Amino acid sequence: MDFEFKKEIIDFGKSLPNAKIYWRNDWQLLYFDLAGHFFALMNQKYLTFKNLPSTNLELREIYLFIIPGFHVNKKHWNSIVLDK
């Protein structure tokens, strides 16, 4: 995965009010937290994010690199494939 792209994702997450981003050793990924709830997860291969179910379906139909959420509820979460 491109380092600059990863940095842009992290910087955007940090720019959100009250958001925290930190490494979860137990899950081996970056954890994007807002008020004690995660809103995104990122490892070397996927950026997983929460969205409205109807929006998730629409995004999957438009973009081949967006798939149902990896290791989360596939109705409410999508994953962007970062690295094959």
Domains parsed from the chain with CATH numbers: 3-81 (3.90.1150.30)
pLDDT digits (tens, 9 = 90+) for 9-45: 999 999 999 999 999 999 999 999 998 999 999 998 9
**Strand order through the sheet with 46-50:** 19-24, 29-34, 37-42, 46-50, 77-81, 66-68
- What global pTM score does this model have? 0.85
- pLDDT confidence of 4, banded at 50, 70, 90? confident
Q: What is the mean pLDDT of residues 56-68?
A: 97
Task: Look at residue 84 in the predicted model and tell me its pLDDT.
Answer: 63
Return d(Cα 54, Cα 19) in angstroms, integer: 25
Separation CA 79–CA 70 (nearest Å): 6
At 2, the pLDDT band (50, 70, 90 cuts) reads low
Q: How far apart are CA 33 and CA 18, in angstroms?
A: 9
The partner residues of 31 in beta bridges, in order of sequence, read 22, 41
